[in-house]
Amino acid sequence: MSLNWKEIGLILQEADLTGSKIQSVIQNSFHSVTWQLYKPDRGRFDFYTEVGTQNSRINIVSEGIRPKKMKKLQRFEQFARKNIEGSIIKNCMQMPFDRLVRWDLDNHGRALVIWLRLYSASGANIIVTDENGKILDLMLRRPGRDEISGSHFVPEVRTEDPGKFEIRDYEGSFNSFIESYYTQAQREESLEELRIRAQKQKERELSRLEGSIISASRSVEANSNWEELKNQADLLSAVSYSIPKGSDTMELTDWNSGKVFSVKLNPSLSAGDNVQAFYDRYQKAKGTWKNACEELEKLKDQYGKLEKRYEDALTVTDDPESDLRRLRNLLEKKEERSAPVQNHPGLHVQIAGWNIMVGRNAKENDELLRHFAKPNDMWFHTRDFPGGYVFVRYRKEKTIPLEVMLDAANLAAFYSKGRENPSVDLYYTQVRYLRRAKNGKTGLVLPTQEKNLTIKTNPQRAKLLLEGQENDL
């Protein structure tokens, strides 16, 4: 509830602004201004004005409360610094039966008028005119009301008392009462808004971590048979002398259980190369499993800490100021962490700790290749369709988990002409093995030492990954 005209009159009577010098003008928001004043018989003091909101009001500010400043200097504040600061309020008056206040200023011999129209609807404004009513500037430009610089402002003059407004019950100073009343109302409103924001942010962050935990768990499970692979490699190595040339299977007997089973061989490889291929599979599975286990533990630890941090911030105590401070700190820190993540063309996705760059067109592909991709990064691209390039950033002594590779391949398919196909063939290789096509189109490269990959396209999964382009998934 905003102030009525009788309450405004009482505040102005207590404030006694006539004779005050405007030392500084600070715009606190798009709807509020703090006037820093000086009067010889009372010293420095601040006068707060807010227009166009449900809490529209004016009041003397208590000592020790520093005015909030906007991050960017606003147009009206710039005008006030140049034209209003240093002025003397020669007369402060309220228009009859109205929420319209007039300040007559003397700005080093230049006459100015400030109109404070303390409405809560579209009529609210702070208007600066010359002595003839020509608008010099105003806080809220309203062309529909012809309230723009250069127009003339003619205030409405009311002659009758509406007779339905009364002053609220209060004790002590009415200025202090109004300041306390609206500060408390805004605090409660702000606190509830911050709780809602924090809760939504908590759900988003935990959901993304849950996705990463599921991905890492799948990678652990998919490679948990590395000991079995080593056992197969050892058994095959022990009988490699008896493997017939060109064989595609070989029967082995487990030394511990006595169980007989068959393994598939590559008939185009020699016995020794087949054995080495089994050891390679074992080493890759072991490395991937180890990395996935480490990543899984790290993600679970992050999840627990994140959950506790939000629970602590969202806990309601008997100290609203403390609750407000904790929520603001939480949300501001999140914004600081998130802001600098993406500094390259295209999109940025993070999956289970792996950073992925996504080019969506030839220009972004070319920019990423020229200026951002490193030799050890892994490059993914659809084989039979034009489309975007996807790069999985290199991590020292880490093997890219299968789940991350499949997600990267799915993103490459999603940004290709083959996105509607049920399955897509891709190839991948390190950036160091890419060669630019001579006289080729922008971004066109020829891969060498590439490996093939076929996936089932999953647009829903791709969209889920892209929902948090600059956040951990």
- What is the per-residue pLDDT across 292-307, written as a single tens digit (0 to 9) for each? 898 889 889 989 998 8
Q: Three-state SS for 458?
A: coil
- Using pLDDT thresholds of 50, 70 and 90, give the confidence band for residue 379: very high
- Using pLDDT thresholds of 50, 70 and 90, give the confidence band for residue 334: low
SS3 string, 184-221, reads HHHHHHHHHHHHHHHHHHHHHHHHHHHHHHHHHHHHHH
Q: Is the pLDDT of residue 337 over 50?
A: no
Instruction: Please say which residue of 168, 183, 217 terminates a domain.
Output: 168
For the CA atoms of 234, 240, 241, 247, the dihedral, rounded to the nearest 10 degrees, stands at 160
* Within a domain: 184: no
* Within a domain: 72: yes
Kindly tell me the sign of the dihedral angle through the C-alpha atoms of 323, 326, 330, 332. positive
Is the pTM higher than 0.75? The answer reads: no
- The CATH number of residue 264's host domain is 1.10.287
- The CATH number of residue 57's host domain is 2.30.310.10
Domains identified in the chain, total number: 3
Identify the CA nearest to 448 among candidates 437, 434, 436: 434
| Tokens encoding 89 | 């309020």
Residue reference for tokens 């490996």: 451
* Within a domain: 212: yes
Alpha-carbon radius of gyration of the chain: 35
Kindly tell me the sign of the dihedral angle through the C-alpha atoms of 436, 442, 443, 448. negative
Instruction: Please say which residue of 278, 308, 338 terminates a domain.
Output: 338
Q: Are 158 and 35 found together in one domain?
A: yes
Q: Are 19 and 74 found together in one domain?
A: yes
In the 8-state DSSP scheme, what is residue 159?
Answer: -
Query: What integer best gives the mean pLDDT of the chain?
Result: 89
pLDDT score for 351: 87
- Using pLDDT thresholds of 50, 70 and 90, give the confidence band for residue 470: very low
* Within a domain: 258: yes
* Within a domain: 235: yes
Q: How far apart are CA 16 and CA 5, in angstroms?
A: 17
User: Percent of the chain having pLDDT more than 90?
Assistant: 60
| Tokens encoding 169 | 């019950």
Q: Are 229 and 306 found together in one domain?
A: yes
**Mean pLDDT for the stretch of residues 68-97:** 95
**Mean pLDDT for the stretch of residues 168-197:** 84
Q: Is the pLDDT of residue 339 over 60?
A: no
Q: Are 287 and 390 found together in one domain?
A: no
pLDDT score for 143: 84
Task: Quote the strand ranges of 149-241, DSSP E.
Answer: none
* Within a domain: 142: yes
pLDDT score for 457: 93
Instruction: Please say which residue of 304, 338, 372 terminates a domain.
Output: 338
Q: Residue 93: left if φ>0, alpha if ψ -120 to 50, beta else—which one?
A: beta
Q: Are 210 and 305 found together in one domain?
A: yes
Kindly tell me the sign of the dihedral angle through the C-alpha atoms of 200, 205, 207, 208. positive
* Within a domain: 186: no
Q: Are 273 and 310 found together in one domain?
A: yes
The range of the structural domain enclosing residue 359 comes to 347-467
Which CA distances in Å does 194 have to 202, 341, 420, 470? 12, 24, 41, 22
Task: Please count the other Cβ atoms lying within 10 Å of the Cβ belonging to residue 432.
Answer: 13
pLDDT score for 340: 39
In the 8-state DSSP scheme, what is residue 293?
Answer: H
Q: Is the pLDDT of residue 249 over 80?
A: yes
Q: Are 236 and 295 found together in one domain?
A: yes
pLDDT score for 189: 61
Residue 450 CB burial class (10 angstroms; 0-12, 13-18, ≥19): middle
Which CA distances in Å does 68 have to 29, 35, 36, 197? 8, 12, 12, 21
Q: Are 207 and 290 found together in one domain?
A: yes
Identify the CA nearest to 404 among candidates 412, 413, 392: 392
Residue reference for tokens 């489309």: 387
* Within a domain: 117: yes
pLDDT score for 242: 92
CA angle 419, 422, 423 (to 5 degrees): 85
Q: Are 421 and 295 found together in one domain?
A: no
Q: Are 334 and 359 found together in one domain?
A: no
